[in-house]
Structure 1
Amino acid sequence: MFKINHPLKLPFWREVAIVAMTCALFCLSCTAKRSFTSIPPVKLNKAVTPVIKQIDRIDVASEFKKVFEARHLAFNYPDRIDSFYKINNYQPVLVPRFMPKHELQTLEDYLMNANLHGIAPDVFSVSRLKDLLENYGNKKTRTKEREVYRNTMELELLVADVMIKYSTAMQFGLVDPTRVYTNYSTPTLRPDSTSVMQVFEVRDIKAYLESIQPKEPDYLALQKALKAETGVENDTLYRALVVNLERLRWKNKPVAGKYVLVNIPEFTLSVIDSGKPVLSMKVCVGEPIPNKETPQLASMIYSVQVNPVWNIPESIAGNEIIKYAKRNRYYFANNDINVYRNGKQVYDPESIDWKTEETGAYSFKQQPGEQNPLGRIKFLFNNESSVYLHDTPVQSPFKQDVRAVSHGCVRVEQPLNLAYALFGKGDKFDQIKKAMANGYPKAKYIGLPVKIPVWINYCTAKVDEKGKVHVFKDIYGLDDALYRKISFPFSQLY
């Protein structure tokens, strides 16, 4: 048996050939199974990782560059991979560590089963990995030390790249949602240098790959449904399962034990406590029209305003309110809307000729009352889209199956019940209940003792507790956008 670390200084071609021959002998001994910061150097196990020294006959840095340049465009993190091997003297690390125990075959098996996650295996270059593993150790590829080194590093770089890709996909998703959707402002954890480079610390491939498999019940239920799905790729159910598995891989779920969840395509709101829904109700969401769609976001509900004042957005004022005023000069008085010019209230808006007046300097606020579209209460949370949850005086839309009727805010069916779920028993809830029933409403803010997360999400497929798959209408066309993105080769996803 050859020793990897020989005390004598062997000629380069012998040293490299010994490594390749050792790995090849192990490979041939049994049948292969087929079913954004600087990177610190990794502490390598010198007993199993050969050091390929630079000698006069071959410049390993130059040879590494040639191999790297030929393949780096397919890598997702080429700079980090390049930095790692430079710091570690262009040594192969993963191949000599895993080849003797046939662990690279285990890697191949996991990649081949990526379709169980709704991902095409070739997203992870599995065909090329299979070819390189089958050809590795071939006598024709190791007649010269240069070819030995290049072949070893080509396999090495591919293994490093696909391990990073697979690890990232399982733990964070294939794509960054902020690069797919423009109306997405949910904080979503993305891989950093530590998570990307952790593959170089792995000592047991099977244990590592198993540890990063998504294990949440919702994910496993969708996986089971996908496995049972016999449709083709253009099948509606198949596509819905694939894109929602991807959404569940994103790390954007609130970590708090209690939070408010709005699922836009399902038109529902749920209060989740310790992983279980304690309150559910219908909601109305934004119309499928640009600038009216309800955004995906996450924030913290910090207060309610009982008998709220509606600060009418500029878009609604320009497109709707002014048009009504042009037809009826008493429109503002009839609807309890105060008019402001450059921040100062105008007390006789009926005297303004809205057909000729420049309206850019005006703003509008609708006072509390039965005509106020916010109803008796709104739930406040910071967000860049200026949306919130609120009551509504118009109840008929809740009888519809498709409830995409708002300007972007979320209208809730049972606002008092939602307030109770957030505040619980006590003086503050009693104040809310009394103020909402007041025949002479006045706006009043009541702060939550503890802020509660709100998560407005977009999920078009889920499995209920009986195992039945429910698919909801993709009202904003977001499934199509995501499916197109994850159908491309991995290198084009970022």
Structure 2
Amino acid sequence: MTSVNSAALRMVFLGALVVLFQVLLGAGGAQAQVTAFKQAVAEAAAQDRDIAAFYRDNNYEPLWTGRSGEDRRRRAALFDAIASADDHGLPAERYDADALMQQLKAADSLRALGLVEVAMSRTFLKFAREMQTGMLVPGRVDNGIKRQVPYRERVSYLSGFQKSNPGGFFRALPPQNNEYTRLMKEKLRLERLLARGGWGARVPAETLKPGQSGAAVVALRNRLIAMGFLRRSATQTYDEQMLQAVQQFQLAHGLTPDGVAGAGTMAEVNTSVQDRLKSVIVAMERERWMNQPRGKRHILVNLTDFSARILDNDHVTFETRAVVGKNQSDRRSPEFSDQMEFMVINPTWHVPRSIAVKEYLPMMKRNRNAAGHLRLYDRRGRQVSRSAINFNAYNASNFPYAIKQPPSQRNALGLVKFMFPNQYNIYLHDTPSKSLFDHEKRDYSHGCIRLQKPFEFAYALLARQESDPEGFFHSVLNTGNETRVPLKQAVPVHIIYRTAFTTAKGPTQYRRDVYGRDARIWTALEKAGVSLRAVQG
């Protein structure tokens, strides 16, 4: 990419196109040459409906290869933007700026220049869309990623660019949020670390505890210093300072902060700079898939962090632990965005068909009175006595009954659920299984998101519409009746999956790839040309 990286040489060459254009216009008659240029543009653009529409609407006038200073600035801005693609985790080679430059150099007629004109628009469209909304199609990488990418009309890129400041247009393409900016900063930090050899030697121990000393403790000390969790020290003992550093490391990696470098902590400590860099690049691609406003107030559920948060103007105003879908093919929680519209206090659990026939029907075949807290209903909605049912006459395909659990303290949904109606039947809810929140890794559900602090979550939502949100909530709860409480203003809900994410203050957070989704995304990015780089500096 030498020819592209030299801005001075590039400007000289691109300026020379003006001279070429003028010379060609003077040879053989201006009108004939202009017609040749336009015909070439029309022919080349015919292969792409959006490009053809743009040039047709603009009378086949040049966007890139004309004589004006504006055309010259557009050309320079495109090559500069491609040269910076790697900063965003996009492979500059994918857009082959060298080939474009060679085609420009070889253009010895206005027909040839017309062909280059369309080639530049084609490259521009590919680059602009991928910079703004990502290279990959999420659902093709993993069917659990149900995200609707906010793709823009392709022709709008060309028409928008034509009216914009060229450099400003390219700068506005990637996500304009603090998370993306901080991820870029972390990417550069890791690339510089990679150039210096990373975090040093791995720690040669499965577990280390306070009070121990020796070579493995020294290796742990050095690695914590390189990672920024421990000030420079010559200690060879797992002392109080090292214990506190391990705790800070554990907090930044979603681990129980007990200060003991057990097997789980040691696995994270020994994770390489390369693997952390992959997580950051994947997170940046994921941010591009969500490149649209998330809402001044929104709910963010991070599956890898087992957490749910409410954010107001980019500040976390409420957070709680969460239990997410178990890492099994039919239980993993999907990723998508929707609008929370209401909550149900004292909910009835309508047992999903899949759970009814896979789990409860076999139990009832063995013992008709199994799971006695559940009730059965026929197709007319009438409750049916179990004594009237021959469970052995049914299988998963012909079982005709609906199973429900009425409101109670034992209800599988707990005492409140939060609804954002969606085709995946996913929602947030309370649970009677409180002990699961004490676990470090919390993937136990059938896909829905269980909250450790559901009442407090409800208070935070109701505070926008009730003068006494806690009192209102409990007045409804105490009735024991199933009650739907609408939210006067719907709240966007984003169920995301980030193994690397940032906070306003403190170190970048890293989490385990609980469903293996980020590993699949990285493999797809590699196939598309993404690679790790080391940056001196």
Q: TM-score range by the shorter chain?
A: 0.7 to 0.9
1:81 to 35, 42, 51: 51
**C-alpha contact 1:311 1:365 (8 A) present in aligned 2:** yes
Q: Which residue in 2 is equivalent to 1:93?
A: 63
Q: CA deviation at 1:214?
A: 3.8
Letter in 2 for 1:107: L
**C-alpha contact 1:92 1:152 (8 A) present in aligned 2:** no
Letter in 2 for 1:83: A
Letter in 2 for 1:166: F
- In the comparison of the two structures, how many residue pairs are matched? 430
Letter in 1 for 2:63: V
Matched residues, percent identical? 25
Report Cα offsets for 1:192-226 as digits up to 9, x if no partner: 15522225515643333234354321111110111
Q: CA deviation at 1:108?
A: 1.7
> What is the root-mean-square deviation in Å for CA atoms of aligned residues?
3.5
> For the residues of structure 1 that align with 2:299 and 2:49, how far apart are their CA atoms?
40
> For the residues of structure 2 that align with 1:348 and 1:171, how far apart are their CA atoms?
58
Q: 1:160 to 1:488 in 2, by over 3 A?
A: farther
Q: CA deviation at 1:267?
A: 0.8
Report Cα offsets for 1:379-431 as digits up to 9, x if no partner: 12211111211100011211112111100110000011001100025466424
Q: 1:330 to 1:210 in 2, by over 3 A?
A: closer
> For the residues of structure 2 that align with 1:61 and 1:253, how far apart are their CA atoms?
37
**C-alpha contact 2:37 2:111 (8 A) present in aligned 1:** no
Letter in 1 for 2:363: Y
- Is 2:84 the counterpart of 1:113? yes
Letter in 1 for 2:52: D
Q: 1:81 to 1:447 in 2, by over 3 A?
A: closer
Q: Which residue in 1 is equivalent to 2:232?
A: none
Q: 1:432 to 1:175 in 2, by over 3 A?
A: same
Matches within 5 A, 1:229-240: 229-230=190-191, 231=194, 235-240=274-279
Report Cα offsets for 1:313-362 as digits up to 9, x if no partner: 11000110112212222124x32x11112234344203423223355211
- Is 2:437 the counterpart of 1:398? yes
**C-alpha contact 1:343 1:363 (8 A) present in aligned 2:** no
**C-alpha contact 2:297 2:310 (8 A) present in aligned 1:** yes
Q: 1:382 to 1:370 in 2, by over 3 A?
A: same
Matches within 5 A, 1:94-493: 94-96=64-66, 97=68, 101=72, 104-133=75-104, 135-136=105-106, 142=108, 148-193=109-154, 195-198=156-159, 201-202=162-163, 204-230=165-191, 231=194, 235-251=274-290, 255-332=294-371, 334-335=372-373, 337-357=374-394, 359-424=398-463, 425-426=466-467, 429-436=470-477, 438=478, 441-489=480-528
Unaligned runs of 5+ in 1: 1-22, 30-46, 73-77, 143-147
Report Cα offsets for 1:129-167 as digits up to 9, x if no partner: 24334x25xxxx53xxxxx13431232222212222232
Q: 1:317 to 1:53 in 2, by over 3 A?
A: farther
- Determine helix, strand or coil for the equivalent of 1:405: strand
Q: CA deviation at 1:472?
A: 1.6
- If the length of structure 2 is used for normalisation, what is the TM-score? 0.71
**C-alpha contact 1:372 1:393 (8 A) present in aligned 2:** yes
Q: 1:152 to 1:199 in 2, by over 3 A?
A: farther
Q: CA deviation at 1:368?
A: 1.7
Letter in 2 for 1:123: R
**C-alpha contact 2:326 2:445 (8 A) present in aligned 1:** yes
Q: CA deviation at 1:464?
A: 2.6
**C-alpha contact 1:286 1:404 (8 A) present in aligned 2:** yes
> For the residues of structure 2 that align with 1:95 and 1:187, how far apart are their CA atoms?
36
**C-alpha contact 1:312 1:365 (8 A) present in aligned 2:** yes
- If the length of structure 1 is used for normalisation, what is the TM-score? 0.77
Q: Which residue in 2 is equivalent to 1:37?
A: none
**C-alpha contact 2:133 2:291 (8 A) present in aligned 1:** no
> For the residues of structure 2 that align with 1:25 and 1:281, how far apart are their CA atoms?
56
> For the residues of structure 1 that align with 2:90 and 2:476, how far apart are their CA atoms?
53
